[in-house]
Amino acid sequence: MSTYGPGSTIGILGGGQLGRMSILAGRRLGYRFVVMDPVPGGPASMVADEEINASYKDLEAVRRFAERVDVVTLEFENIPADTVSEIETVCPVRPGWEVLHTCQNRLREKTFLRDNDFPCVPFAVIRSLEDLRDAVEEIGLPAVLKTADFGYDGKGQVKINEGDDLEMIWNGFSGSTAILEKWIQFIGEYSVICARRPDGETAVFPPSFNVHRNHILHSSQVPSGLSPELENAARSLALDIAAELEVIGLIAVELFLTASGWMVNEMAPRPHNSGHYSFDACLTSQFEQHIRAVCGLPLGDPKLLSPVVMVNLLGDLWHEDGKRLNWSAVLKNPNAKLHLYGKQNARPGRKMGHYCVLADSEEAAESEAEAIFAKLKQG
C-alpha cells in the first residue's frame, strides 16, 4: 500500500469549494496542493500552492499536472476517462477510475446498486420515446425522468404526472440516454459519508437528516433523529457500498427512508455538501478524513462533538445590486460558524457558502439556524 505522508503534494481535479475545504484541512497536516481547473481563480485555487488552468481534455496539460504531484484526488466526478487514464500512467488517482465510471453516470450507478442487491429506486433505461411510453406503463406515474449523465442539484430531471405530454417531455431531453425512476413516497432524506483507506480500513460519519428546497440541499442536521436500529442500518449500507466499489477516499451515500426501510438514491465518491457540518462539529472533519484516506494515513475518529445544523448559502440571498450580505446575523451568534467560498459572482442556486450552528440539542441548533437564515433573507 502506497502511503504519502505529510510534506507530499496532492493534486486536486476541480477548483470548487470542496477542494478548497480539503486543502484547508490538509494544510494542517503539512501537505502541498496543486489544483487543475479550466477556470482560473476558483475557491480551491485561492488556497492552493499552484493552479493549472486547462481543459481536462488537454492531455499534455494533464500530464504536466500529474508530474507535479504525488497522488491525485477529485472534488467532482465528471472527469473524462482519458484524463484519469493519462494521470494514472504517472501517479495514483484516488478514488480510481472504476469508482468514477460507476458514480458519474446514473444508469451505471443504478445498475451497480441493483446488481449488488443494494436497495434502490425501481428504474428503466430510456433511449427513445417508445422506451419512455413502455417504462411508464411498467413503472407507473408519477415518475422522474433523469439524464444519465451530468445531473446534480435537480438539473437534468423532470417529474412526469398523469396526463403529461410524454413526447414533449422526451423532446426536451434532446435524445439523450435517460432513466425513468419510480416516484418514491419517502419519510425523510438522509446521507451517510464513509471513508476507506487502500488497505480496507473504514470509518463512518454520523448520518445527517437533510432538507432540500427546489432540489438543492438547504440544511443538514446531526444527530439525525433516527432510531439506533435505522442509524446502524444506514451506516452498514454505506460501509458495504464502499467495500463493493473498493473506494479509496470518501463516498457519500444519499438515502430515502421509506415505510419499508432504506433506499439508496445517489452516491458521490468525494466530500459532500451534507458533510460540511463535520468541519465544526466532529473530532475529524470529512475533509481531513478524505486527505487521510487518499494518502493512506490512519483514519481519524469521526465522532460528533456537538449537535449541529448546517445551512447552505445560495446566491439567491445576495442583493440584486451586488452588495454583500450583512453577516452580523451569523457573526453575532456565538454558536454559529460562517464559511464563505470566495466566489465573486452570485447567482440563483449557486453555493456561495454555508454556516453551522452548534447547540445542546439538535432542536435548539435547528431553531437558531433557521432564525439566522430568516434574518439573512431580510437583508
Q: Over pLDDT 70: what percentage of the chain?
A: 97
Residue 49's pLDDT is: 98
Tens-place pLDDT, residues 90-114: 999 999 999 999 999 999 999 999 9
pLDDT exceeds 90 at position 340? yes
d(CA 59, CA 36): 12
C-alpha triplet 212, 218, 220: angle, nearest 5°: 95
Tens-place pLDDT, residues 159-190: 999 999 999 999 988 778 999 999 999 999 99
pLDDT band at 1 (very low <50, low <70, confident <90, very high): low
C-alpha triplet 232, 75, 311: angle, nearest 5°: 60
Domain 9-93, CATH: 3.40.50.20
Which range is least confidently modeled, 47-61, 130-144, 192-206, 315-329? 315-329
**Bond into 307 cis (ω within 30):** no
**Delimiting residues of CATH 3.30.1490.20 domain(s) in the chain:** 122-182
Among 241, 82, 111, 121, which residue's Cα sits nearest to residue 177?
A: 111
**Delimiting residues of CATH 3.30.470.20 domain(s) in the chain:** 188-378
Count CB atoms within 10 A of the CB of residue 335.
Answer: 17
Separation in Å, CA 246 to CA 82, 133, 194, 237, 258: 21, 37, 12, 14, 27
**Delimiting residues of CATH 3.40.50.20 domain(s) in the chain:** 9-93
Q: Is 165 exposed, middle or buried (0-12, 13-18, 19+ CB in 10 A)?
A: exposed
Is 231:209 a contact under the CB 8 Å cutoff?
no
Domain 188-378, CATH: 3.30.470.20
pLDDT band at 379 (very low <50, low <70, confident <90, very high): confident
Q: Over pLDDT 90: what percentage of the chain?
A: 88
Q: Kindly report the pTM of this predicted structure.
A: 0.94
Domain 122-182, CATH: 3.30.1490.20
Among 49, 39, 44, which residue's Cα sits nearest to residue 15?
A: 44
d(CA 96, CA 99): 6
Tens-place pLDDT, residues 274-293: 999 999 999 999 999 999 99
pLDDT band at 365 (very low <50, low <70, confident <90, very high): very high
Give the cell for residue 309.
Answer: 445544523
pLDDT band at 77 (very low <50, low <70, confident <90, very high): confident
Measured between alpha carbons, how far apart are the two ends of the chain, in Å? 52
pLDDT band at 2 (very low <50, low <70, confident <90, very high): confident
d(CA 141, CA 46): 47
Tens-place pLDDT, residues 34-73: 999 999 999 999 999 999 999 999 999 999 999 999 999 9
Mean pLDDT of the chain: 94
Tens-place pLDDT, residues 221-231: 999 999 999 99
Handedness of CA 27, 30, 35, 41 (dihedral sign): positive
